[in-house]
Amino acid sequence: MIPSPRTLDLDGPAAPRGGADRVLFIAAFVLVLLGVLAVYTASAAVSLDRYGSPHHVVLRHGLHVVVGLAALLLCARLDYRKLDHPAVANVGWALALIALTLCFAEAPAGGARRWLRMGALSVQPSELAKLVVIVLVAFHLSRRREVLGDPWRGLLPPMLFAGSLAALVAIQPDFGTAAFLLLICAILALVAGTPWRILGAHAAAGLTALGFFVVQEPYRLARLRTFLDPTGDPLGSGFQLRQSLIALGTGGLVGRSHEGPLGTGLGCSLQKLFYLPEPHTDFVLAVFGEELGLAGTLLVVALFVIVLVRGLTIAARAQEMFGALVATGCTALLALQALVNVLVVVGLLPTKGVPLPFLSYGGSSLVVSCAALGLLLSVSRHG
């Protein structure tokens, strides 16, 4: 195959150099910088109201950025081929299983047990499980290429490992992340060459299980009804989406303005003033679009398209299956989350708490996104 382009001198002077990988790194780095800007402007009012300082949330986000960039550099310097080992796959799965189980011993927050608290540090194991599933499924599928046509020896073993993690996430409950884990598995299985008949059977089983979880909770059905009829309950289940659409609609081409048609940009959002709930988390793009208009929103989308294209290029140029699957999984992790978040913000998918990678406030999500980008750079350099 064509050797992968290698650009970032993250491993000292011996590392090969080129131009393509630098584009991926710069696109993600700009997204991180835009995230700091977006979180600050979106959270200032909420932060002042809750903590007495408009800078409290953005300072915490800044700490998350530092840890995330450290994770990015660590994963980029790591030779990803060291992850292609049974001890890594099995220990990673066991640790994720233990962490997700320990969440049930924590006090619920918002009706869910998704966090593992260790003093002042809080970690969301379901986010870390995304990376574990990518490495775990890539490890198993790369060794089962000859038996992927066998329904028992091929896809079933990795699906049982990944499905156990998805099941624990689903009963936290975190239906969206559980579905996302299974979707990543399906994408990797497809790329590995799993026959459609076997992939379809597993997909049917997964959709049946997810459908069961949907009908078990009234609030999930309410979200589905709101998606089908956004104006049916504008002050209840449809409130958040309605405020998001108002924010995007009033942003115009270049952002809301109090002083003229061209806009004054950052700081002019009205929806962040306690209209749009939690504006600095999953709906940060709505505030960003209100303040910088369609131009700012398209800039964010364009940067994610660059990440998608570069990630798929790295996967296609990988010289062995494990690297191709890891690169595909990391690309799917970043691009699909971004796609789902954007579609939720504009009302084309039911409302679900899916963060926008690199931009939304949330330490676990940001660190995992940066680590995934680091693995992509590692595959490009060593694959």
What does the pLDDT look like over 335-358, one tens digit per residue?
A: 999 999 999 999 888 877 789 999
Q: Please state the rounded mean pLDDT for residues 290-310.
A: 93
Cα(234)–Cα(232) distance, rounded to whole angstroms?
Answer: 6
First to last CA, the chain: 10
Whether 4 has a pLDDT exceeding 50, the answer reads: no
Q: Angle at which helices 175-192 and 196-216 pack, to 10 degrees?
A: 180
* Closest to 168 measured CA to CA, from 95, 107, 109, 220: 95
Whether 1 has a pLDDT exceeding 70, the answer reads: no
Confidence bin at 20 (pLDDT 50/70/90): very low
Whether 30 has a pLDDT exceeding 60, the answer reads: yes
Whether 233 has a pLDDT exceeding 80, the answer reads: no
Of 168-182, 217-231, 308-322, the one with minimum mean pLDDT is: 217-231
What does the pLDDT look like over 135-181, one tens digit per residue?
A: 999 999 998 888 888 878 888 888 899 989 998 998 888 888 888 99
Model pLDDT, residue 13: 33
Task: Give whole-number Cα distances, 257 to 44, 268, 290, 296, in Å.
Answer: 18, 6, 9, 14
Q: What is the pTM of this model?
A: 0.88
Q: Please state the rounded mean pLDDT for residues 276-305.
A: 91
Average pLDDT, the chain: 85
